[in-house]
Amino acid sequence: MASVLRRSQTVLNSLCRRQFSASPDGNLTTHAGKSMNLYSAINQALHIALETDPRAYVFGEDVGFGGVFRCTTGLADRYGKDRVFNTPLCEQGIVGFGIGLAAMGNRAIAEIQFADYIYPAFDQIVNEAAKFRYRSGNQFNCGGLTIRAPYGAVGHGGHYHSQSPEAFFCHVPGIKVVIPRSPYQAKGLLLSCIRDENPVVFFEPKWLYRLAVEEVPEDDFMLPLSQADVIREGSDITLVGWGAQLSVMEQACIDAEKEGISCELIDLRTLLPWDKETVEASVRKTGRLLISHEAPVTGGFGAEISASIVERCFLRQGEQNINVLHVVRPFSSLHNPIHILLLCLCID
């Protein structure tokens, strides 16, 4: 155990120090810009969203003074308390209100303080936001709605500040689910989500809010939705993940490389609707697939990926050499080292 812990500490340290890569070849210098962390990148995206669209609004619990994670810092001062404001402490109210605001042709950017507290709004998201366009025959839509929520383990959050609830939402046609892995990705993807004509749930890896730092262009740019990103190319195995887990997986790839295993790492970025083609092409090349996520394994989104890839690469084409491994990262304050243990499992 001691050696595992020591090893996990090393991994953590290296993750902390490392700049998070954003481009396919891991080359940081491709985007000229300012070095910034993830929450600042989110903040910048929100500034741009409010600046470029007078019909954009930012609201949620405590967003007025900058938010508990500082993502909305300076917005109320700059754009006024009518466009950036605190709401009462009520998630179903926040999302319901956001749907109405979006239905009037506004960009409604709602913050749920923690993804763990998104469940009171589940009905408004699943039954309302997702079905608003469909049930009205496209007479009405709430496409301008974006719901931001910090998700995932940070090491001390326990049960209710650590969850990764993405799978619940990936089962819902009508919404999009997007999770960025780094500051550059966060800014570009968030702007795309805000401007997308469909309601989006945007989960932000709160572990990386301050930890992840990279060069981010200061201008207004967008990254495509429903397009996976091949972070590193390899030939022996395909690794698929999203959000904070990618930093763990990236380290695993580096370690595996030392042992002579060539890994291809894919960031799914958009989980719904997800880019099957990119994953399929990679698995056809490597013949092996490893999916890793923080959320519980049973009914997790990894199951959707493995089922789809098995169906496409194995059942349909009769290829037989596909191995699928599914790894998760549970969450608990006490058992934080286990997260890192799983990193070792990735390498094995």
Is residue 101 within the footprint of another protein (CB under 8 A)? Answer: yes
Phi, psi of 28 (to 5 degrees): -75, -25
- Position among 173, 219, 258, 316 found at the interface with another protein (CB under 8 A): 173
168 three-state secondary structure: helix
- 201 and 145 Cβ atoms separated by less than 8 Å: no
Which residues does 126 contact at the CB level (< 8 Å), separation at least 6?
Answer: 169, 172
Is residue 316 within the footprint of another protein (CB under 8 A)? Answer: no
Is residue 92 within the footprint of another protein (CB under 8 A)? Answer: yes
- Position among 5, 16, 104, 315 found at the interface with another protein (CB under 8 A): 104
Total residues in contact with another protein, by rule CB under 8 A? 47
From residue 206, give the alpha-carbon distance in Å to each of 19, 192, 212, 285, 312.
Answer: 16, 20, 10, 34, 34
Does residue 280 carry a catalytic annotation? no
CA dist., res. 235 & res. 288, Å (int):
9
Identity of the residue, 25 or 123, whose beta carbon is nearer to another protein in the bound complex: 123
Q: Which one is catalytic: 61, 91, 204, 304?
A: 91
Identity of the residue, 25 or 197, whose beta carbon is nearer to another protein in the bound complex: 197
Does residue 91 carry a catalytic annotation? yes
Is residue 197 within the footprint of another protein (CB under 8 A)? Answer: yes
What order of strands is seen across the sheet that includes strand 288-293? 229-232, 263-267, 237-241, 288-293, 323-328
CA dist., res. 30 & res. 128, Å (int):
41
Per CB under 8 A, contacts with another protein among 109-168 are 120, 123-124, 127-128, 131, 133-141, 143
Per CB under 8 A, contacts with another protein among 274-303 are 274, 276-277
Identity of the residue, 66 or 96, whose beta carbon is nearer to another protein in the bound complex: 96
Q: How far is CA 171 from the centre of its chain?
A: 16
- Which residues are paired to 187 by β-bridges? none
Minimal distance in Å, beta carbon 141 to another protein? 7
In the complex, the residues that contact another protein under the rule CB under 8 A are 81-82, 85, 87-88, 90, 92-93, 95-106, 108, 120, 123-124, 127-128, 131, 133-141, 143, 173-174, 176, 197-198, 226, 273-274, 276-277
* Residues with catalytic function: 91, 161
